[in-house]
Structure 1
Amino acid sequence: MSKTTWNVDVAHSEVQFKVKHLVISTVTGFFRTFSGSASTDGDSFEDANVNFTIDVNSVDTGQPGRDEHLRNADFFEAEKYPEFSFVSTSLKKDKGDLYKLIGDLTIKGITKEVELAAEYGGTERDPWGNTKVGFEVSGTIDRKEFGVTFNSLTETGGLALGENIKILANIQLAKQA
C-alpha cells in the first residue's frame, strides 16, 4: 500500500493548554505557531506516524507580561529550548471514532512517553478539491516531569499554579498529492 502524507493546515488548527491558577480558576493559553504531519498507509490513520512541533515563543495567554514570564527560565526557557516536539510511536483505533495516540513528547530537552486521546472528526473535500481530515487531540501532562517546576505559595499555603496541564489540539490535516 502506498504511503500518504498529510500536513497540518495551520489556518484551520489550534493548540491550547489549560492550567489551574490559585486552585480556583483556570488559565487558558495557546501556541500560535506550530507545524506537523502524518504519514499513513493509504487513507487509514491506524498506525500513522505523527510528528508535531510547537514554537515555544508563540505562547499566547492574552497577557503579554505573563507570556514573557512563561518564555523565561522560570518556565519554558524558550531561548535555550525554542521548540516542543511530539513523535508518535503508536496510533491505534480504540472504539468508534476514538484513537489512542502514544508518543514521545519533548519539552525543555526532556522526553517522556505520553498517551493522548484523538477523536476523528471526519474527512471532507474543501471548496478547492483538497481532502482534509480533522482530529481533536486531548490529554493531561504533569509539567514537573518536563522540568517546568516554578511555583509559589498563596497566603493560605496552597500552590499558585496547578501541576497538571490539559492539552487540547484541534487539528485539520491536508492530504498531499
Structure 2
Amino acid sequence: MSIQAKTKWKIDLAHSEIGFKVKHMMISTVTGHFEDFNATAETDNDGFVNAEFAFVAKTNSINTKNKDRDGHLKSDDFFNAEKYPELSFKSKSFDGETLVGDLTIRDITKEVKLDVDFNGIAVDPYGQTKAGFEATGTINRKHFNLTWSAVTETGSIVVSDTVKLFVNIQFIKSA
C-alpha cells in the first residue's frame, strides 16, 4: 500500500476575501472584512476531501468602511486587537460540502461548521494551478466573548449576536 504525498496550497490573496455581515439595529446589515490574513491547505486528493485547512487573520486589519466603527471593533468591547492580535481557524474535517473546524477568537475556541462550494481546480494563463472555494456559516459573537451590547430608545438591539461569515478563497498549488 502506497501513501500518496500531500499537495500543499497557499492562498492567492488577490482573489480571496474573508468577510462577515451583522445586523445593525435589526434594520440594516453592516458588512466587513479582514485585510491582513493568510490561509493554507494540504490535501492528498483533487476533491480536497479531508484536506487540512488553516487560516489566520490580524484583528487589527478589520475594515467596515467606517473608521470610528473599526476603532470600536478593535477595542476591548469586541476583538481587543492589542491583547488578541489574531483570530484563527483550523479544520477538523471536510467532506466536500461541510467544513468543520475550530475557530479561535480572543483565546476562546469553539467548533464551527461552514457550508462550502468547492468550485474546482483550473490552470491560469500563467501555468499556476488554482483551486476555488466559497464558504458560509454563522456564529454567535457572544460565544467568543464579543459581548458589547446596547439598546436604542425604541428597544432595538444595536448589534445582533448572530454574525454571518462568508469566505471566498482561491488557493495556488505550491508543492
Query: Do Structure 1 and Structure 2 share a fold, with TM-score over 0.5?
Result: yes
**Is contact 1:139-1:167 (8 Å) kept?**
yes
Pairwise CA RMSD of aligned residues? 0.8
Q: TM-score if structure 2 supplies the norm length? A: 0.96
More strand by share: 1
| Post-superposition offset of 1:67 | 0.5
Q: Choose from 154, 159, 166 the match for 2:157.
A: 159
Q: Choose from 18, 38, 41 the match for 2:41.
A: 38
Query: Partner of 2:60: helix, strand, or coil?
Result: helix
Gaps of 5+ in 1: 94-98
**Is contact 1:4-1:43 (8 Å) kept?**
no
Q: 1:96: which partner in 2? A: none
Query: Partner of 2:119: helix, strand, or coil?
Result: strand
| Post-superposition offset of 1:145 | 0.2
Q: 1:147: which partner in 2? A: 145
Q: 1:133: which partner in 2? A: 131
Q: Distance in 1 between matches of 2:8 and 2:153?
A: 52
After TM superposition, which residue ranges in structure 1, 4 or more long, deviate above 4 angstroms?
A: none
Q: TM-score if structure 1 supplies the norm length? A: 0.95
Q: Percent identity?
A: 50
**Farther-moved stretch of structure 1 (42-51 vs 112-121):** 42-51
Query: Partner of 1:113: helix, strand, or coil?
Result: strand
| Post-superposition offset of 1:122 | 1.9
User: How many residue pairs were aligned?
Assistant: 172
**Farther-moved stretch of structure 1 (115-124 vs 81-90):** 115-124
Query: Partner of 1:156: helix, strand, or coil?
Result: coil
Q: Distance in 2 between matches of 1:102 and 1:18?
A: 20
**Is contact 1:133-1:172 (8 Å) kept?**
yes
